[in-house]
A = this chain, B = another copy of it.
């Protein structure tokens, strides 16, 4: 059904070689022939079969993107950004979802290698703590880029948010608002982003001579509304005098906010709250939630750009090396944390 080079060659009375070369703009084909052939292929809407072409060139112009999940404002934004930017460079993206499962992630990586994608971009599942599948990619000489949920132990390019800085920024913002007893609803223990945000929180307390109390930190491993909600109810029993809260994610912060409201706390008067991620919802609820902007669009572009850069310097590409590119975040102060009118 589909046209082939052979069909075109026959129709035009030239060889398959000539058609192929004309389409790829080889310089040893006469301009007239090129024009003639191009006009025809345009007319009949011919495009060379990508798979056959791959067999010779070893370039598929396909990228594999593995995400823990898609229903998630941040991954979502990154995905759109990568897909669009890739398209503008004539790459297509195969999107896979590990559903937070290490096993799936592993087999998906394998399948992508089988498909000979030109590069793999991945944000790892929460419980991924064996990295042989990622090292396999490197061994296979396929460019690998980790983003957001990265793994420091893998010697590859990594694009991350400045989670430590941002955690620091969020916490210091609360301190500057006068908070003395600040709760942190953190993420699970393994993910680097969760560790880094937590360290940022600690560092800010330290800088401002506020003693760190581990009882004020609660793990919300699934980053859900419910965890934030219940987390606050539990904490409040022991520490009714908390006056600030920094959550790993906006949704957790919103859960916490709900709990505080029910408990009769005024926000931000009694307790100042800040989230993380700047989800759409955060600017629409009451009170508007202060947060940290994670620019998914920027990160997606950086990931794709890094990949393109690798393609251009492939002389050295054989040895994948560890490198971290950090995307700066931004504090977005809103009503939920503004005890004073001071703006940072």
Contact = CB atoms under 8 A, between A and B. Distances in A.
A290 to B, nearest CB: 16
B116 A95 contact: no
Contact of A110 (B45, B83, B284): B45
Interface residues of A, number: 50
A95 B63 CA distance: 11
Contacts of A254: 284
A60 interface: yes
Interface in A1-60: 1-2, 45, 47-52, 54-55, 60
Contacts of A114: 47-50
Contacts of A99: 84
A79 B69 CA distance: 10
Contacts of A115: 50-51, 92
A280 interface: yes
Given A116-B49, A254-B284, A97 B83 contact: yes
Contacts of A47: 110-111, 113-114
Contact of A97 (B2, B49, B87, B140): B87
Interface string A97-126: 101000010001011011110000000000
Q: How many protomers of this protein does the assembly include?
A: 2
A154 B299 CA distance: 38
Contact of A52 (B49, B55, B76): B55
A344 interface: no
A108 B84 CA distance: 11
A70 interface: yes
Contacts of A96: 83, 87, 92
Contacts of A93: 94-95
A77 interface: yes
Contacts of A140: 1-2
11 contacts: A2-B140, A49-B114, A50-B114, A51-B51, A62-B94, A84-B97, A93-B94, A93-B95, A95-B95, A284-B285, A286-B286
Interface of A: 1-2, 45, 47-52, 54-55, 60, 62, 69-71, 73, 76-77, 79-80, 83-84, 87, 92-97, 99, 104, 108, 110-111, 113-116, 136, 140-141, 225, 254, 258, 280-281, 284-286
The 9 closest A-B CB pairs, nearest first, are: A70-B80, A281-B281, A47-B114, A51-B51, A95-B95, A51-B54, A50-B115, A92-B94, A83-B97
